Structure 1
Amino acid sequence: MNNVRGWTRRRGPGARPDRAGYARLFAQDRAAPHWAYDYADRLARRHPADHRILIQTSMSPSGTFHIGNLRDTICAHLVHRALVRTGRRSAVLLSFDDFDPFRQSQAVAGTELAPYGGRPLALARERSTAICRTYLRALKDLGICPPDADPDGRMPVGAAWETHYQWERYTSGTYRGIQRRYVRHADRLAALLGVEDPRRLFAVYCQQCGRNTTTIHELRPDQVRYDCRSCGAFVTTEVMECVKPSWALDWTLRVAYEHIDCEPAGQDHCSSGSTMDRTQPIYDRFLGSDQPVIVPYGLIRQPGQRQKISGSRAGGLAPDDLLRVMPPTMILWLYARPNCLSDMRLGLDRGSVLAAYAGYDRFLSRVPVAPRARKLYELLTDTPVPDGPPLPSIRRVLGLLHATLYDAGRVLDELAAAAPAADRAALAERVRHALAWVSGPGRGTSWLHGPAPAGPGTALLAGGLAGRWDRARHAALLGALFGVASGPPLRRLLDAFTEAEVVDAVTAFDSTGARPLLRRVTDRLDAVSVTGGSRAR
């Protein structure tokens, strides 16, 4: 039976050891209604009916968490949802690996990080806390982290959500007993991992300068002796909390102590010779337990990029970037739609956004009539299946925003008048997301960024707005008002501004080159961009 917060988890009488090897990591039952149900079924068959199945998602706050990190957590969330929907007890453990060291390359890249090279990420406390809390807020907005969790993601013991900070776990002595066990059997662990020198399986944070630039001379369960290349200290200490196992050992240690049953992992961690492959002997011949059920997932790249996204290098999209322009259920659908084994491309360019919304709308239309679509929808949300008319396409909403000079209220009123039975709250959400996109990542698609007119528009309105309006005169008007050759028709301009305002704006341009109406429109877009648009709350 399982120990409570113990070290080993013996196979129960109904458990079936999975010894088929590395290749089985990528095997799936394609007859399952969704891949999350396949992994949930494996877990349900492995554990007794009253067992609380714990799924870990872990990441290091070395930089801003990005949409690649989000795939790890969404995979855990979907398997958890599948277990709950099949009547099993389950929980998600989000583990922040802030006991990992700052890379020296990061420390030399920014002066504010210079003192932290080689030290635990948690020591840059303000930075680490901000990174983790931002991610937790996004997970709350997505409906993954419970809304009643505190800002650090903590919940009462026994809840279906846990958040751990590995700096706290190690330095508080939580793992002291199992750390000593691992040190005591370092020779055996090294042999299982094919490592010649057992001391290479551990690192020590220097007690004098805090860096991991140490060389271990002696390692025993009750004592470690090392010297530090940074500060020159030569130390013998009984404090085991400063001893950090290598990643392979650290993972198995936490799995054994926390009783982790399942964990998503990127395919780079599941390849031949990777952590998931090399640590199998530790479970089989040292811990005497099954390796957790692994949910391998593919890489996420942004359009036009070959490398995977890296938070420490910066520049990748963050979960908040998606939340500003898409509803939470749609974001979950984007991650859940492909097989978890497949690589994905996610971007906020015009083509990607239009395609994503079109695909999501088609999915919603199939939910009431297609069993597999309904099964997927039930994994994404507890909201009842929409039964009203479909929402207007994002292409139409964007067209109206451009035509109305980005007046979201006017667009909403027009859409509601055209479809009185539509859910006005859902309409408003789509308009807000569309406006957030065109004011942010889609700013370059605005007619405000169109080509300039061929010639000047002086003496344009000597007779006011009366007279015939052909294409040339309209282009001259737009050139005077906004510096572009094409844009909204005159009737839309007069919906947004009074005739006197238009005439005065042309006069101002003829006199001084000023464009006051352009400023009013760009200020409207800037206000949306600065406030983050329509991020869910």
Structure 2
Amino acid sequence: MDPAAGHDSYLNHWADAAAAKTLAAHADAKVVTVAAGITPSGVVHVGNFREVITVDLVARALRDRGADVRFIYSWDDFDVLRKVPADMPKRDMLTENLRRSISAVPDPYGEHDSYAGHNIAAFEKSLAPLGIRPEFIRQSQRYRAGAYADGIRLALKHAADIRAILNDVRDKTTANTRLEDNWLPLSGFCDNCGRDTLAFAVVDEWTVHYDCSACKHAADVDLRKGGNLKLPWRIDWPMRWAHERVCFEPGGKDHSTAGGSFDTAKDIVRVVYGWQAPEYVGYDFVRIKGRAGKISSSKGDVVTVADCLEIYEPEVLRWLFVSFRPNTEFQISFDLDVITLYENYDRTRRIAYGVEPAKDAQARLVAQRTMQLASVDHRRIAEGDVMPFVPGFRHLSMTLQIFEGDLDKTVAYYEEAGQVVGDESRRLTRQRARCVWNWIAEWGPDEFRYKLRREPKQRELTADEATCLGRLVAALRGREEVREDDLVPTMKSLCEGTSLDNKTFLPVVYDLLIGRDKGPKLTTLITAIGPARALSLLAPSLPAGT
């Protein structure tokens, strides 16, 4: 674990710089623990994904330096259900369970152990295709098992110190209220009614008494035996840094501001728990193009990682996050910008493999490192590696529509053309074809979609139009198949000796084939559907005997 490895020009990503800083700050650590987490109080969306992939990238960079890395992901499922997110089913049931732990609220879908469990399962499942495999920790289980008993004990012992730290921030940020002298760093849920309406008193070092204002239940709790008590967020976070010996953890924009939870946590972890704050990277929001404001689970209609994977290949979705520094806001698009993003990804891939020239040697190293971090299996592109073929998004969108979304026929088309060769190229082409077809079906604009006519249209033609169409039909007759290159000379000479040119004539051909006045490249379209299908749609408009 040599921080000097940062001088390697290949290790040029921001994650490499974060890894080097982490190793320098924790030079004696035998295991480098990196952490992420979220409260599953609603659908876990793609904005939340920025935290886990930020940690995944740093974990990879640490391992590339030889570090033994432990990657933990904490589910803060011992938090309270404060409001019912929009678009949730069984809203009456959820409303009845407000002020209870989200780990104790029933799953409104009836599929998992709890409301939190449902949101957790969906997000964990979506991470697997992206090659992200942290050690998941459910905080409700840890607290109830008494794993954090000593952490709570120390917080109560240092209650005055914590209160002073939090009040100092409140004074500096001109907050309206300060914590009272009898305030205790505790929260939790009543053993009787399950709500968080508790008042606390310390009995002794390990025992806490509480009274519930909702149901009037009272109890003494031995912290060592676990139960339903926990630390509030601003104390819970630094407590877990010390408990897990966390060396790196990012935080969202809201945590990173002056006086935010990171500011107070770094003091609390030092004063109360004798540990240091981890190396920290603040990350900005991810937005969905066309929507105002940040993504919010409570507002409903969020975009999840699983939604993105319907349109973006795992490597392309990873590449999108890899390509931006964490403190840079960016948008995820589902409109025509998807095509541009795929084209930019493909260009980076070509530069990394040396298929397309780079500005200089370092630019190629940057592309190679980017592609390694974007890959699911963290594969490094070595000199001499051959880039597996995968069709471009635009071409695939055309080919798929010719074959009406049939993935097998689409892949076979590229195989017969000699472009798809080998299992990896076949896998990549099929993977992209699935995403492209999903995009066409759900997001593609109307002018982008087309279908071949099932029955021929008999169109009245001018004399010049009939001449040009007859030349095209003659070029196709008698052929079982045709190569795109063979059609190019025919297309160039179609309109010779007439008053037409391709700009004025080709709309006729497109109308006969797909019912529109323009469409995909005509030579590709005819090659893909084959001469027989093309002739069946073109020839009926010609005069008899032509």
Give the TM-score band, short-chain normalised: 0.7 to 0.9
Q: Could you say which residue in structure 2 is the equivalent of 1:420?
A: 419
1:264-316 CA-partner distances (Å, limit 9, x unpaired): 11121111110111222213333232111112111100112231112232222
SS of 2:297's equivalent in the other structure is: coil
Q: Could you say which residue in structure 2 is the equivalent of 1:140?
A: 128
Within-5 A mapping of 1:207-222: 207-216=191-200, 221-222=205-206
1:406-463 CA-partner distances (Å, limit 9, x unpaired): 33333323333334365233222222221122123337565359xxxxxxxx996699
Change (3 A) 1:495 1:407: farther
Q: Could you say which residue in structure 1 is the equivalent of 2:154?
A: 181
- 1:115 maps onto 2:96 in alignment: yes
Within-5 A mapping of 1:360-379: 360-369=345-354, 370-379=364-373
Q: Could you say which residue in structure 2 is the equivalent of 1:435?
A: 437
Q: Could you say which residue in structure 2 is the equivalent of 1:401?
A: 400
Change (3 A) 1:276 1:349: same
Q: Could you say which residue in structure 2 is the equivalent of 1:521?
A: none
Q: Which amino acid aligns with 2:430?
A: A
Within-5 A mapping of 1:180-259: 180-194=153-167, 196-197=179-180, 199=183, 201-216=185-200, 221-229=205-213, 231-240=214-223, 241-259=227-245
Q: Hey, what's the Cα distance between the residues in 1 that align with 2:391 and 2:456?
A: 41
Change (3 A) 1:116 1:462: same
Aligned with 2:326 (options 340, 355, 363):
340
Q: Percent identity?
A: 24
Q: Give me the TM-score of the superposition, normalised by structure 1.
A: 0.74
Gaps of 5+ in 2: 107-112, 168-177, 355-363, 470-504, 538-546
Deviation at 1:132, TM superposition (A): 1.4
SS of 2:249's equivalent in the other structure is: strand
Q: Give me the TM-score of the superposition, normalised by structure 2.
A: 0.72
Aligned with 2:299 (options 305, 313, 333):
313
Question: What number of residue pairs does the alignment pair up?
Answer: 447
Within-5 A mapping of 1:74-113: 74-106=53-85, 110-113=91-94
Q: Could you say which residue in structure 2 is the equivalent of 1:151?
A: none
SS of 1:179's equivalent in the other structure is: helix
Q: Could you say which residue in structure 2 is the equivalent of 1:41?
A: 20
Larger mean CA deviation between 191-200 and 296-305 belongs to 191-200
Q: Hey, what's the Cα distance between the residues in 2 that align with 1:459 and 1:396?
A: 25
Deviation at 1:262, TM superposition (A): 1.1
Q: Which amino acid aligns with 1:119?
A: R
CA RMSD across the alignment: 3.7
Q: Hey, what's the Cα distance between the residues in 1 that align with 2:202 and 2:26?
A: 41
Contact 2:78 2:101 in 1 (8 A): yes
Contact 2:85 2:297 in 1 (8 A): no
Q: Hey, what's the Cα distance between the residues in 2 that align with 1:44 and 1:143?
A: 24
- 1:260 maps onto 2:255 in alignment: no
Larger mean CA deviation between 180-189 and 258-267 belongs to 180-189
Q: Hey, what's the Cα distance between the residues in 1 that align with 2:456 and 2:400?
A: 30
Contact 2:87 2:300 in 1 (8 A): no
Q: Could you say which residue in structure 1 is the equivalent of 2:175?
A: none
Change (3 A) 1:447 1:373: closer
Q: Which amino acid aligns with 1:376?
A: T
Q: Hey, what's the Cα distance between the residues in 2 that align with 1:234 and 1:60?
A: 28
SS of 1:199's equivalent in the other structure is: coil
Deviation at 1:336, TM superposition (A): 0.9
1:73-103 CA-partner distances (Å, limit 9, x unpaired): 0011000000100111111101111001111
Deviation at 1:255, TM superposition (A): 1.1
- 1:356 maps onto 2:329 in alignment: no
Contact 1:181 1:221 in 2 (8 A): no
Within-5 A mapping of 1:464-479: 475=511
Contact 2:158 2:272 in 1 (8 A): no
SS of 1:56's equivalent in the other structure is: strand
Q: Could you say which residue in structure 1 is the equivalent of 2:390?
A: 391
